[in-house]
């Protein structure tokens, strides 16, 4: 075991503050990574403030962060896929049983014995796993991704959650050229959803509560941007969407979007508000519409997504911050005041 620098929160009302955490020495199949960048996902904020207490209660202290990019510093004797000096990445998962039907299907995110990057029981050290707001992490090589060369590293970190969480359902539900696709919420997930849906050739419509994001949405690749409070504009699109990706992090009216789906259209929730959403049965019944959910993506698909980004030069629009600004960034995230993902430059942790 060794000690790493980190930022952690001691309770649901505490700010994130400097801390020292234990990390295991790399075992046979482990990869040790010096973390260079870590994105800030809204899930970090939900977890730090224990907003998901009903579903996945937070164990304190918590070190969040699951959008990790860094440099390999050491590997175990049995590691074949990574070597010291490589750029490598880690997303929301660090282990799974590898034997269940979900793992065998490449869908580790649904494994009953999944270990998340933070706030999951730590099989090696006891306690819970600590995430990427840290200078170093040790992860089983099966959960370490390769980063295509040439991609900007700060813009790559958010691909590890915001990227795969939007790529996976768009692929699963067959978003291609000729499809009309909506993206609700233009935040970290939403802006990646727009980039991928556009790259897949779809006609992309953004729904936002922030009128000032209109121009920027078009620049990201949207064909249309609609301010969702404008009911007349919404009404013009009734019954016309093949697929809608809902990335909203707070309570909102999803019936307004269900009504925009065509017959057999699908709305998939990736946003995870703590509160239940009210669904009007008639909205679904009226046109055999589908309501679904999606959870990140498997490891093979995450690598596929990264390779796709390498081929198409896709990265997240990241606002890079020093870790000392993380609490301020959380407040700005709550006000939808970020274009479109905060990413922590972990070099800033050296001065702590
Ligand atoms: P984010 O950057 O804060 O983006 C959320 C966006 O939702 C905001 O930018 C805003 O967009 C919109 N929004 C916020 N509050 C709203 C409200 N009260 N009513 C309507 N719209 C509102 O967050 P994120 O990191 O993209 O994460 C979004 C959600 O996905 C979070 O709940 C997160 O936990 C969840 N998540 C799920 C998965 C998964 O695997 N399913 C993975 C990662 C994250 P506009 O300003 O454009 O309106
Ligand atoms: Zn996330």
Does any ligand 1 atom lie closer than 6 A to the CB of residue 277? no
| Number of the ligand 1 atom closest to the C-alpha atom of 43 | 34
Does any ligand 1 atom lie closer than 6 A to the CB of residue 213? yes
Q: Whose CA is nearest to atom 1 of ligand 1?
A: 187
Does any ligand 1 atom lie closer than 6 A to the CB of residue 42? yes
- Show the low-confidence residues of the chain (pLDDT under 50): none
Contact (Cβ atoms closer than 8 angstroms) between residue 257 and residue 245: no
Of 41, 58, 158, 185, the residue with max ligand 1 atoms within 8 A of its CB, to mutate for a pocket test, comes to 185
CB neighbour class for 131 (10 Å; exposed up to 12, middle 13-18, buried from 19): buried
What's the CA-to-centroid distance between 91 and ligand 1, angstroms? 18
Q: Whose CA is nearest to atom 17 of ligand 1?
A: 250
The full length of the chain comes to 352
For 294, phi and psi rounded to 5 degrees?
A: -150, 145
β-pair partners for 268: 245, 292
Q: Residue 95: what pLDDT?
A: 98
pLDDT, tens only, 179-200? 999 999 999 999 999 999 999 9
Ligand having the closest approach to the CA of 48? 1
What's the CA-to-centroid distance between 184 and ligand 1, angstroms? 9
pLDDT, tens only, 197-246? 999 999 999 999 999 999 999 999 999 999 999 999 999 999 999 999 99
Average pLDDT, the chain: 97
| Number of the ligand 1 atom closest to the C-alpha atom of 294 | 41
**The two three-digit tokens of residue 79, written as one number:** 């590691």
Give ion ligand 2 contacts, CB < 5 A. 41, 43, 161
Q: Residue 268: what pLDDT?
A: 98
Does any ligand 1 atom lie closer than 6 A to the CB of residue 210? yes
Reduce the secondary structure of the chain to three states and give it as a string: CEEEEEEEECCCCCCCEEEEEEECCCCCCEEEEEEEEEECCHHHHHHHCCCCCCCCCCCCCECCCCCEEEEEEEECCCCCCCCCCCEEEECCEEECCCCCHHHHCCCHHHCCCCEECCCCECCCCCCECCCCCECEEEEEHHHCEECCCCCCHHHHHHHHCHHHHHHHHHHHCCCCCCCEEEEECCCHHHHHHHHHHHHCCCEEEEEECCHHHHHHHHHHCCCEEEECCCHHHHHCCCCCEEEEEECCCCCCCCHHHHCCEEEEEEEEECCCCCCCCCCCHHHHHCCCCEEEECCCCCHHHHHHHHHHHHHHCCCCCEEEEEHHHHHHHHHHHHCCCCCCEEEEEHHHHHHC
Does any ligand 1 atom lie closer than 6 A to the CB of residue 66? no
Does any ligand 1 atom lie closer than 6 A to the CB of residue 296? yes
What's the CA-to-centroid distance between 189 and ligand 1, angstroms? 7
| Number of the ligand 1 atom closest to the C-alpha atom of 162 | 43
Contact (Cβ atoms closer than 8 angstroms) between residue 264 and residue 251: no
CA 343/CA 340 separation, integer angstroms: 10
Q: Residue 103: what pLDDT?
A: 98
CA distances to 72, 164, 315 from 152, in Å: 17, 17, 7
**Quick one: which of 344, 350, 352 has its CA closest to 68?**
344
What's the CA-to-centroid distance between 51 and ligand 1, angstroms? 14
**Quick one: which of 184, 95, 89 has its CA closest to 144?**
89
**The two three-digit tokens of residue 88, written as one number:** 């490598």
Query: Is the whole model's pTM more than 0.85, yes or no?
Result: yes
What's the CA-to-centroid distance between 66 and ligand 2, angstroms? 6
Does any ligand 1 atom lie closer than 6 A to the CB of residue 292? no
Does any ligand 1 atom lie closer than 6 A to the CB of residue 48? no
Q: Whose CA is nearest to atom 11 of ligand 1?
A: 185
Find the distance separating the first CA and the last CA of the chain, reported in whole Å.
Answer: 21
């Amino acid at each position: 075991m060794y000690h790493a620098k980190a930022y952690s929160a001691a309770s649901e009302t505490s700010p994130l503050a400097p801390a020292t955490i234990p990390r295991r020495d790399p075992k046979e199949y482990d990869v040790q990574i010096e973390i260079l960048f870590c994105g800030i996902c809204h899930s970090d904020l939900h977890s730090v403030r224990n907003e998901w207490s009903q579903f996945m209660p937070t164990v304190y202290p918590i070190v969040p962060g699951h959008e990790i990019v860094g440099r390999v510093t050491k590997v175990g004797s049995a590691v074949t896929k990574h070597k010291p000096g490589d750029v490598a990445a880690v997303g929301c998962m660090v282990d799974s049983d590898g034997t269940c039907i979900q793992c065998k299907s490449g869908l580790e995110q649904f494994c009953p014995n999944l270990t998340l990057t933070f706030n999951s029981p730590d099989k090696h050290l006891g306690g819970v796993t600590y995430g990427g707001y840290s200078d170093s992490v040790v992860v089983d090589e099966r959960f370490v991704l390769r980063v295509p060369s040439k991609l900007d590293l700060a813009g790559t970190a958010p691909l590890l959650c915001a990227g795969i969480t939007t790529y996976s359902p768009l692929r699963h539900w067959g978003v291609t050229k000729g499809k009309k696709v909506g993206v609700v919420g233009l935040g970290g997930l939403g802006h990646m959803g727009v980039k991928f849906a556009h790259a897949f050739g779809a006609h992309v419509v953004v729904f936002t509560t922030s009128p000032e994001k209109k121009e920027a949405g078009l620049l990201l690749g949207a064909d249309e941007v609609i301010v969702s409070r404008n009911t007349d504009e919404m009404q013009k699109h009734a019954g016309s969407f093949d697929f809608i990706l809902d990335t909203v992090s707070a309570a909102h009216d999803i019936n307004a979007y269900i009504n925009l789906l065509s017959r057999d259209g699908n709305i998939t929730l990736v946003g995870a508000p703590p509160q239940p959403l009210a669904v009007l049965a008639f909205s679904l019944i009226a046109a055999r519409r589908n309501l679904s959910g999606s959870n990140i993506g498997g490891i093979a698909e995450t690598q596929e997504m990264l390779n796709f980004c390498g081929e198409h030069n896709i990265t997240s629009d990241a606002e890079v911050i020093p870790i000392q600004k993380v609490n301020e960034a959380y407040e700005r995230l709550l006000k939808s005041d970020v274009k479109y993902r905060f990413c922590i430059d972990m070099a800033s942790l050296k001065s702590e």
